[in-house]
Structure 1
């Protein structure tokens, strides 16, 4: 009887312990679920689990710093920096001195601990073999096929047959030159003194022969050493020498070229002038930019959305992704004030669209083209423009240049 009682007692204790552990696991899982919601609403604009963005990658952050330090840092990172905390100062310096928003007023300690619980859970998950495309990111079927640009190939990387062909070509050219030189050296002595006859020297063959023998007068001309009898200016006299043949030949060629140029471009109009070439190149660039959706220099002509549904969608996107750095009312915190007339990167809807899409990584602004669709970026850009003149409390001072809309 006593033995049976002991067994029931031990079994009850084991059951209670098991239920307690299951309950603890369930609570931790629930904390991670809540933490994920808070993380996605406040942290994804600047942080990723696996890669540095505006701030550091957060995978295993709890192992590197400890939960107590993380709570203090999330509540107010600048207090730790000003206090000289070594880790906080190192992070602040490493990430371009971009201050992290203080969450002491918007998140409770429990909220922050839930976020840390989510980071713990996400850090322990094995990395996916192939990451799924982000929501709104264009798939292979959405993008036009872009032909790969030809790559330059180094000479040593050419196939051996090309090396052999080039070497043989060089050898053949050398043999031809050597053969010509040998023929000249063989036949010139046979001509004897006849090569010095004036008629032969003035012929093309004679000039070429004497040029090969080092006589440069074919190019430079001969000095007559005859002084102009009537050209005497204050004792300065002038020789009656012809212009150098090379100069005259270039002059004749330039005349022929000028006539051909005039006929080609101005008479027959078979060639494009500089203005036409510029316009054609600009058209080609516009076509290329239109095909390449990821070109930051692509010309866009979006119009501001004004319907209530689009602006409400833009407000939701702004609250989820932008409020952490620009404030819930666009008043500016880490990022600039979006409600005044001053802009760092242009205040037109197309300028804002590009800033949101491609980001400004050097200033801590992350690109959103992989997370938001084109329509979502246009909606949030239009919503940002709707904030103009709203004058929220505690607005950040103006930054950049005043934007004046084109009329």
Structure 2
């Protein structure tokens, strides 16, 4: 007869072994692998481990919030927000009040636990160290661009430094000569500098300007009252306009004549309409050379063959259904089955919206994640959903097309 002591010992060993097995890295790795697949199918459109996308970065989120809070938030984030949970409300406000889809009906508790296990596994991975290999530009590659280095003034070529020094010396000598001439000749003039003829001359005005008399700039105040200009006791002086004002007026007349001859008589300059046309042509050339230009004009046609639409459906379910619903009925994102569009309902408009996204509204750009052909397949599939009228469709948004 087997003793109770041996049975108890064997049962204890089995229990300990089972607990160790449950917490072993092998089981955790299996959970993380399953969680990766679930994450990529449901969460990757809005979340990244290391960077904010539509939602926050998830690295070490289990340490900041705890598993229990994460489970509640994944199941239904809006319940926590409406309940006044400070962390949920803060996230909702921080990320433009874009509600996270509720996964309580589409993911089981085991699925959610696997997603959290995947987040933990990714958070614990050491950051990859990228070795920086400086690239030395060579003359063999003319397309290589090099940063412009700042050069100190004293490091300029000697000839250039000599030119600057010579110019400075000439300016200083000129000023000194003028000062000396004034100091020599002004005393020789004596009281004659106060004669009206000399003071009214240009040389006299310059001399007295240096002594503080601004007549050269402001003109002479005659203080002559117009005898026939009397309005309710208000009289008008007959003073000249300031010379600086008259000089600027004459300059504008000369400029206006030159402008008219340049643009309207000889037509050597381009008017605004011509400049606009040239700039538009340059922009068109730029757009043709840069495929990632959001203003580039595209002329894609809607794909109608079954294989392309089936591929588009698969891509839609994997990447878009989390925000637009499995049937395109709209959840976080707008309804894609009605006739109303926020950013245009042509296949080229939809292609551009998918490619470049609308980050301000929570729509991430998919260029770099999907190829051009895949984006066109998704765009064509979305157009095939028109008029399907799925259940629980979101209210129309945008303009009817």
* Aligned CA distance change for structure 1 residues 32 and 201 (closer, same or farther; 3 Å): closer
Is residue 298 of structure 2 the alignment partner of residue 301 of structure 1?
yes
TM-superposed CA distance for 1:191, in Å, is: 3.2
Structure 2 Cα separation of the partners of residues 312 and 204 of structure 1: 90
Provide Cα deviations, 1:30-88, integer angstroms capped at 9, x if missing partner. 33333222211111011112223222333344444444443343233333444455554
Mark the CA change 1:91 to 1:167 in structure 2 (over 3 Å): closer, same or farther: same
Superposition pairs for residues 17-28 of structure 1, below 5 Å?
A: 21=21, 26-28=26-28
Query: Is 2:152 aligned against 1:159?
Result: yes
Is contact 2:21-2:27 (8 Å) kept?
no
Once residues 67 and 227 of structure 1 are traced to their aligned partners in structure 2, the CA distance between those partners, rounded to angstroms, is: 93
Q: Provide the residue aligned with 1:139 in structure 2.
A: none
Residue 220 of structure 1, CA deviation: 4.8
Corresponding residue for 1:402?
399
Rounded Cα–Cα distance in structure 2 between residues aligned with 1:56 and 1:356:
21
* Structure 2 portions without partners, runs of 5+: 1-9, 132-142
The change in CA–CA distance for 1:160 and 1:256 in structure 2 (over 3 A counts) is: closer
Cross-structure match for 1:124: 124
**1:185 counterpart (183, 188, 195):** 183
**1:101 deviation in Å?**
1.4
Distance in 1 between the 2:371 and 2:342 partners? 23
CA-to-partner distance for each residue in 1:160-217, whole Å, 9 max, x for gaps?
Answer: 5389x79977787466435423321221222345556777666554554454445555
Give the whole-Å Cα distance in 2 for the aligned partners of 1:255 and 1:249: 10
Summarize the Cα distance change of 1:278–1:182 in structure 2 as closer, same or farther, 3 Å threshold.
farther
Give the superposition deviation at 1:147.
Answer: 6.2
1:210-237 residue CA offsets vs partner (Å, 9 max, x unmatched): 54445555555556677889x6789999
Distance 2:363 2:332 in 1: 10
Correspondence list, 1:36-47, <5 A: 36-47=36-47
Q: Looking at both structures, which has the greater relative contact order when contacts are Cα pairs under 8 Å and sequence separation is at least 6?
A: 1
Question: Which residue number in structure 1 is paired with residue 140 of structure 2?
Answer: none
State the partner residue of 2:362: 364
Residue 78 of structure 1 aligns to a residue in which SS?
A: helix
Once residues 343 and 259 of structure 1 are traced to their aligned partners in structure 2, the CA distance between those partners, rounded to angstroms, is 53
> Which residue of structure 1 aligns with residue 324 of structure 2?
326
Distance 1:126 1:243 in 2: 79
| Cα separation, 2, equivalents of 1:210 and 1:341 | 81
Deviation at 1:323, TM superposition (A): 0.3
Contact 2:36 2:118 (8 Å CA) reproduced: yes
Is residue 346–residue 403 contact of structure 1 (8 Å, CA) maintained in 2?
no
Distance 1:184 1:99 in 2: 82
Change (3 A) 1:162 1:176: farther
Aligned length: 370
| 1:335 counterpart = 2:361 | no
8 Å Cα contact 1:325/1:334 also seen in 2: yes
TM-score, normalised to structure 2's length? 0.73
Change (3 A) 1:149 1:268: farther
1:388 aligns with one of 386, 389, 392:
386
Distance 1:68 1:217, change over 3 A: closer
* Greater displacement, 328-337 / 340-349: 340-349
Task: Report the TM-score when normalising by structure 1.
Answer: 0.72
Using a 3 Å threshold, how does the CA distance of structure 1 residues 173 and 47 change in structure 2: closer, same or farther? same
CA separation of 1:22 and 1:237: change in aligned 2, threshold 3 A: closer
User: Is 1:54–1:364's contact at 8 Å kept on the other side of the alignment?
Assistant: yes
In structure 1, distance between residues paired with 2:385 and 2:126: 43
Q: Is the 8 A contact 1:74 1:103 kept in 2?
A: yes
Identify the residue that residue 32 of structure 1 maps to in structure 2.
32
After superposition, the Cα gap between the structure-2 partners of 1:91 and 1:188, relative to the gap in structure 1 and judged at 3 Å, is closer
Task: Give the Cα separation in 2 of the matches to 1:383 and 1:146.
Answer: 42
Q: Is the 8 A contact 2:302 2:347 kept in 1?
A: no
Displacement of 1:93 after TM fit?
Answer: 4.1
Measured in 2, the distance between the counterparts of 1:312 and 1:238 equals 89
> What does 1:244-259 correspond to in 2, within 5 Å?
245-259=243-257
- What SS does the corresponding residue of 1:372 show, helix, strand or coil? coil
Aligned to 1:7: none
Map of 2:262 onto structure 1: 264
Q: Specify the alignment match of 1:141 in structure 2.
A: none
- The answer as to 2:77 corresponding to 1:77 is yes
Question: Structure 1 pair 255/107, CA: closer, same or farther in 2 (3 Å)?
Answer: closer
**Contact (CA 8 Å) 1:339, 1:388: kept in 2 or not?**
yes
